[in-house]
Structure 1
Amino acid sequence: MNKQVAIIGSSGGNLYNQGGNNPRLMIKEIFSQAQSAGIDISYIQFIGATSSMDNISKGTNAKLYTLENGEITESGESPLNEINEIAKASDKQLADKITNGEIDAMMLLSCDPKGVNNLAITAAAAKKIPLVGTGGTSIANTQSLGGKVISASGTTGTTNRTRAVAFVSALAKEWKLKYMPVIASSSSGSVQEGSIWKRINFRGIMMAAMPGFISMALVLALSKIPAFAGLSTVFDTLIGILPVVLAAIAAKQVSGMDEVGLVAGIIAGILAKDGGIIGGMIAGILAGILTYYISSFCFKHKVPGTTANIASGGISGLTAGLTGMYLIAPAALWFGNSVRWLIDLALNYSPILAGAVAGLLIWPAIIGGVYHAAILPIILLEMEKDGFSFLGAIDMTCLVMVSAGITLANVLFPKQKSESAVALPGFIINIAFGTFVEASYPFMFSSKKVFGGALAASTIAGAMVGWMGVKGTAYVPAVVAPMLANPDKGIFFLLCMLSATGLAFLLTTIANQQDKHKLKKD
């Protein structure tokens, strides 16, 4: 008998921009990969909101997606709070199934372990069934409840396919099943459902392009080694193609037409590359829009698929590219240079103050959902020019390394022994991959002292970054980050990183010991 798996979660904050705004397509990709491994999806409880939950409002509506007779069904659209109440009833039903041994594992997509998914997560923890998922905060909270998480990551940089493959691969390995990832085309001779205008999302496009920026930074680091000095020309080439990468991603995401959109975006990006990453992205979005409407026209008028693809991809790319070259590029280049100029101005005025303020505000920014909307795009704008970034160094130092310090303190000197096992995976991921700062949330939110310590460590470390003139990047292993710093600043970057970890570790340890002593007295 096939293993039975449940999918629970929501369209989330960052996930909304990485496929969560189209729940049916996202879940179908999971179905395709699960079927390849002989795994059955037998239960779904997914809340799809009409906007990102990073910026949720009282007027936000949502739908509840469930599984009935093997088919994905959805409720009518209602206010999110009403959908949450309906979901709680589904949560109780799922918890009973888990307790009765009817569910063998769960896939978590930005779920709510302390809210609408609490009963199911608690039951899963009690039964020790394997859990896989994405969503930094939700996974951290799941682990704090004792869930057996065998595969976890944040959402940044993931796609529907990479998430599905990661989930199924982990479960197949756990159960020793044969599994080969499948490529299920999302285009079937018709245009994807959903408004094209809702698919235009600047931060989603930029986050998907992050690997390109990291590869550029790695090449820059290697070019500093005398034996690889020739790679400096490769670095220049990568800078030149980044606008093309952004354009291709933008056109694919906006058009919903897979390869046809990619071709249109590449053509548009090549023509509009003088406008930098902003010019390339705007040209790509325009190419995606044109691809969508030209494809729609062709399909409605029964134009053969090959002709429709050539017309939509070729004409859209050329039109968007020429528009980008002559109209968009000059304005986009001016805007990008202005952003970098403002950062340089702040650093020239008072680097210590600029670093301290950035370090202080970056935690509220990521907790409040502002990071991915504002800070990450600026990091990419900085990296486009030189391959490193002031805010990138702040990210690595004040978020990743502070989170590492907090989790390490809870591994070695926790308030309660059970917290050590929860903190260890977060510490390893922060150090090994330069991401998953949400691992420290359970400890920060449960203690004002730990939260205050995080802000203090981040502020001091940020001031050091400014004072020492460090620029760099996150999203890379901690041991690699110093090598990706600006020239002659690697040792200073390392010093800033170690200071951030040490301060966070010390302050968290003190807070834990005080709280532990208080608990004993009570």
Structure 2
Amino acid sequence: MPDAPRPAPASTPDLRTPVRRLAVVGSSGGNLYSHGGDEPLRLVEEIRRQARAGGFEVTTLQLVAARASMDGAGEDTPAELLELRDGAVTVTARGTLAEVNAAAAAVDAALAEAVGRGEVDALVLVSADPSGVNAAAVGAAVAAQLPAAGTGGSSIAAAQALGLQLVAASGTTGSTSTTRAVSYIAGLARHFGHRYRPALGSAETPAAAGSPWRRISVRGIMVGSLPAFIALALVLAVSKVPGLGALTPVFDALIAGLPVVVAAVAARRVSGLGEVGLVAGVVAGVLSTDGGIIGGLVGGILAGAGVSYLLRWTLGHRFPVTTANIVAGGLSGLVAGLLVFLALAPVTAALGEGVKDAIGFLVDLNPLLAGAVAGLVIWPAIMGGVYHAAILPLVLLEMGEKGHSFFGAVDMVSLVMVSLGITLANAVRPRSSGERALAASGAAVNFGFGTFVEASYPFMFADRKVLAVALGSATLGGLVVGATGAEATAYLPAVVAPFVATNTVGMVLSMLVGAVVPFVAVLMLNVRHNRRVRTADASTASVAAADSVRQGA
């Protein structure tokens, strides 16, 4: 139940296109330092990832990474030199900035010789120093008429003044490591005639890295938004404490802001562009609040897709990366948000209200049956992978409408409490000594955090009777939830959940049933199992003793 990722190219380069060799040179930068330069490994890996997607290979790296912005760094500022060794980014020098610059100058001289031998096809300048530690390489590239792409206002201006052929150039303001890397490779791909689709996926969605539409996952978006819903539930619980009723407006503000959270998570995921997608999602979400959770979801998805396409279009039309960021992030969020605000909000709001009303209707129709069926199916649902795709989104949709959920209460009672009962029984009376520590750690997480119901899987899968106990207890617990009309949520400590519920006494009763019944049943099963094992061991020992006597006779 539910933050450096492994790179995954978005597209496979045309195998008929020769792989061009790139040299990445520069530093962690001045202004760049606050735009990703403080994470040099991630910065370099993003360039390498985009290079692979465009039919390029980074063969040389010379990056001076300081522990402070170059705008304020001095010769004694701690720094490191990053190079490629056997295909891996490696720190080859550490010390003061002056010492690392001296080491970088030696690498620069070697790179200039490689350029002269024709072993490099293009340069990528990352806040480089064309008149300092990168002077030899830049001078060699000018002489060889190599193309280059780069960012960093003053450094790019200095490189251009030296006559370097820059096919993509921009400042760093408003950019990210991803968008800068896309800008570098887009410019070089255009120059060399390579086909290039930016690698905008992540380690979580490598197969869907090409098209933003293939990165849509309602399950992923809703799970990513879960902390905001839990914050909402906690505020609701605290607001019920006598004297803290003044927190009710905080609850109202949070529930109104949930569509913004969902939109931001959706846009970041769908765009694959990190902060740019996040900003687009926030803009879209602010305009989608009248559409509820579903409105935020739709607005965020549209904004994320728009960011991906707009960034590609702007860079394809030679926009500097700063402008491309602004256009892609701002415009896509605005357009998507206005679409929801002006046209889709009534529809999405009605859908959200409809889900809430449908669940309420089914519960009101026969609360005992509704609770029992929900409790019965929830274990098969989580084991079969349906829980996060269907039930958790329903929980969050309900919470987005009213702050608590019928399915949330069933989740806590029929999953978390049942798992607590099973694991606690195995901690008290395990079938083998090795099971006690495993069960105890699972029970602690179940009780203390309201999650990790998978802790009871080993005991269920080892004995079908324990699985039957889980299903029966979950059904009974769900029935009590329906009978008492309790609504709440999981993912909270067990002692907190009742205070979030609409019926505190009913929730406590439901949780006790959910935990005590499987605890007693599994305890009895384990006692019987251990007794049979002891009897069998005693019988075996008796037979062995008799055999020994006969052999002695």
TM bin (shorter chain)? 0.5 to 0.7
Amino acid at match of 2:230: I
Contact 1:187/1:258 (CA < 8 Å) preserved in 2?
A: no
Secondary structure in 1 matching 2:7 = helix
Contact 1:189/1:305 (CA < 8 Å) preserved in 2?
A: no
Unpaired stretches in structure 2, ≥5 consecutive residues: 10-37, 43-84, 90-175, 183-197, 201-208, 537-553
Cα gap change, 1:494 to 1:187, in 2 (>3 Å):
farther
Amino acid at match of 1:454: A
Secondary structure in 1 matching 2:181 = coil
Amino acid at match of 1:500: G
Secondary structure in 2 matching 1:473 = coil
Contact 1:275/1:330 (CA < 8 Å) preserved in 2?
A: yes
Contact 1:403/1:437 (CA < 8 Å) preserved in 2?
A: yes
Amino acid at match of 1:24: P
Amino acid at match of 1:520: R
Q: 1:438 aligns with which of 454, 457, 462?
A: 454
Does the alignment pair 1:509 with 2:523? Answer: yes
The equivalences for 1:22-61 within 5 A come to 23-24=6-7
Secondary structure in 1 matching 2:489 = coil
Q: 1:297 aligns with which of 304, 313, 331?
A: 313
Cα gap change, 1:215 to 1:244, in 2 (>3 Å):
same
Rounded Cα–Cα distance in structure 1 between residues aligned with 2:519 and 2:337: 51
Q: 2:181 aligns with which of 170, 178, 189?
A: 189
Shift of 1:520: 3.4
Rounded Cα–Cα distance in structure 1 between residues aligned with 2:525 and 2:87: 50
Secondary structure in 2 matching 1:314 = helix
Contact 1:243/1:277 (CA < 8 Å) preserved in 2?
A: yes
Contact 2:352/2:401 (CA < 8 Å) preserved in 1?
A: no
Amino acid at match of 2:520: L
Q: In the alignment, which residue of structure 2 is the partner of 1:491? A: 505
Q: In the alignment, which residue of structure 2 is the partner of 1:323? A: 339
Rounded Cα–Cα distance in structure 2 between residues aligned with 1:185 and 1:407: 45
Higher mean alpha-carbon deviation, 320-329 vs 282-291, is at 320-329
Shift of 1:466: 0.5
Amino acid at match of 2:409: A
Shift of 1:185: 5.0
Contact 2:409/2:489 (CA < 8 Å) preserved in 1?
A: yes
Higher mean alpha-carbon deviation, 508-517 vs 274-283, is at 508-517
Secondary structure in 2 matching 1:227 = coil
Shift of 1:226: 3.2
Rounded Cα–Cα distance in structure 2 between residues aligned with 1:251 and 1:340: 25
The equivalences for 1:163-242 within 5 A come to 185-190=177-182, 191-193=198-200, 194-195=209-210, 196-242=212-258
Q: In the alignment, which residue of structure 1 is the partner of 2:124? A: none
Rounded Cα–Cα distance in structure 2 between residues aligned with 1:453 and 1:419: 18
Shift of 1:516: 2.3
Q: 2:422 aligns with which of 394, 406, 415?
A: 406
Does the alignment pair 1:418 with 2:434? Answer: yes
1:217-249 CA-partner distances (Å, limit 9, x unpaired): 111112222322111111111111111111111
Q: In the alignment, which residue of structure 1 is the partner of 2:464? A: 448
Q: In the alignment, which residue of structure 2 is the partner of 1:468? A: 484
Cα gap change, 1:296 to 1:227, in 2 (>3 Å):
same
Rounded Cα–Cα distance in structure 1 between residues aligned with 2:532 and 2:391: 39
Rounded Cα–Cα distance in structure 2 between residues aligned with 1:342 and 1:479: 30
1:166-188 CA-partner distances (Å, limit 9, x unpaired): xxxxxxxxxxxxxxxxxx95554
Higher mean alpha-carbon deviation, 490-499 vs 369-378, is at 490-499
1:148-206 CA-partner distances (Å, limit 9, x unpaired): xxxxxxxxxxxxxxxxxxxxxxxxxxxxxxxxxxxx95554314342222211111001
Q: In the alignment, which residue of structure 2 is the partner of 1:288? A: 304
Cα gap change, 1:308 to 1:403, in 2 (>3 Å):
same
Q: 2:496 aligns with which of 470, 476, 480?
A: 480
Contact 1:432/1:477 (CA < 8 Å) preserved in 2?
A: yes
Q: In the alignment, which residue of structure 2 is the partner of 1:313? A: 329
Rounded Cα–Cα distance in structure 1 between residues aligned with 2:357 and 2:247: 28
Amino acid at match of 1:508: V
Q: In the alignment, which residue of structure 1 is the partner of 2:269? A: 253
Shift of 1:339: 1.3
1:202-221 CA-partner distances (Å, limit 9, x unpaired): 11001111111111111111
Rounded Cα–Cα distance in structure 1 between residues aligned with 2:334 and 2:514: 49
Amino acid at match of 1:348: D
1:465-495 CA-partner distances (Å, limit 9, x unpaired): 0001100000011111111111xx1122112
Shift of 1:330: 1.7
Unpaired stretches in structure 1, ≥5 consecutive residues: 1-13, 27-31, 37-67, 73-183
1:299-328 CA-partner distances (Å, limit 9, x unpaired): 223311111111111110111011111232
Shift of 1:23: 4.8
Secondary structure in 1 matching 2:389 = helix
Amino acid at match of 2:199: Q
Rounded Cα–Cα distance in structure 2 between residues aligned with 1:185 and 1:306: 12
Rounded Cα–Cα distance in structure 2 between residues aligned with 1:459 and 1:379: 18
Q: In the alignment, which residue of structure 1 is the partner of 2:25? A: none
Deviating beyond 4 angstroms after TM superposition, the runs of 4 or more aligned structure 1 residues are 68-72, 184-187
Amino acid at match of 1:413: R
Contact 1:355/1:466 (CA < 8 Å) preserved in 2?
A: yes
Rounded Cα–Cα distance in structure 1 between residues aligned with 2:360 and 2:262: 25
Rounded Cα–Cα distance in structure 2 between residues aligned with 1:308 and 1:357: 52
Sequence identity of aligned pairs in percent?
48
Rounded Cα–Cα distance in structure 2 between residues aligned with 1:69 and 1:419: 45
- TM-score normalised by the chain length of structure 2: 0.61
Contact 1:283/1:328 (CA < 8 Å) preserved in 2?
A: no
Secondary structure in 1 matching 2:348 = helix
Rounded Cα–Cα distance in structure 2 between residues aligned with 1:485 and 1:230: 19
- TM-score normalised by the chain length of structure 1: 0.65
Secondary structure in 1 matching 2:244 = helix
Contact 2:180/2:321 (CA < 8 Å) preserved in 1?
A: no
Secondary structure in 2 matching 1:226 = coil
